[in-house]
Chains A and B, each alone.
Chain A
Amino acid sequence: DGGITQSPKYLFRKEGQNVTLSCEQNLNHDAMYWYRQDPGQGLRLIYYSQIVNDFQKGDIAEGYSVSREKKESFPLTVTSAQKNPTAFYLCASTGQGRNIQYFGAGTRLSVL
């Protein structure tokens, strides 16, 4: 999984709770991405950031929020507004040319 670290590996959310998933990269990549993976649906883009202090919504941003205060870090918060948060979440990054995305090992989020 290269130089991308996601934590925790497993996370449990209670009703009405916000939880934050961590993604850190040491690849000096400019762009970072968050995907949600559900069985049979492939990967869907939640948010992406091409530079520090800037980020854009992806296809399924509702109920999620992100920040990009440092180049190395792109945390994802799953808010209480996300009614169906159970999924496998993957963070990725890409460098100049942006031809290959490198992925972290993922965080599996479940609801208690």
Chain B
Amino acid sequence: AQSVAQPEDQVNVAEGNPLTVKCTYSVSGNPYLFWYVQYPNRGLQFLLKYITGDNLVKGSYGFEAEFNKSQTSFHLKKPSALVSDSALYFCAVRDQTGANNLFFGTGTRLTVIP
């Protein structure tokens, strides 16, 4: 069975500092991994995905994520945080059985402190 874990419910970072939001996954076979962001009372917005290829994936709004197969991790990163990055972030893995559904983590709330 596929699953993802986001070990931190809350991450606080000062504006201008680098940020990391952690995600680990469990799949059989090659993983399809995603990051989404959710602003208050809104739907989820796609940030980036890893399907295959380069382990460093670049996405929207200056975010990137590093796929690490040996550590089964897919951490989201940004070199310099903005106050506007404050939101709820979800990691997800795609179902490998053919239904192509997504399994989401429980989310990490990022707060960027001015």
Closest to A102 in B: B46
Q: Main SS of the interface on chain B?
A: loop
Tell me whether A31 is interfacial, beta carbon within 8 Å.
yes
A-side interface residues, number (CB < 8 Å): 30
Closest to B9 in A: A40
Tell me whether A15 is interfacial, beta carbon within 8 Å.
no
| Distance in angstroms between the alpha carbons of A92 and B43 in the assembled complex | 9
Tell me whether A98 is interfacial, beta carbon within 8 Å.
yes
B-side interface residues, number (CB < 8 Å): 22
Contact B99 A42 (CB under 8 A): no
- List 14 A-B pairs, Cβ < 8 Å: A4-B43, A40-B106, A45-B101, A50-B99, A56-B99, A58-B101, A88-B41, A92-B43, A99-B51, A100-B46, A101-B46, A103-B43, A105-B41, A105-B42
Residues of chain A at the chain B interface (Cβ within 8 Å): 1, 4, 6, 31, 33, 35, 40-45, 48, 50, 56, 58, 88, 90, 92, 94, 98-106, 108
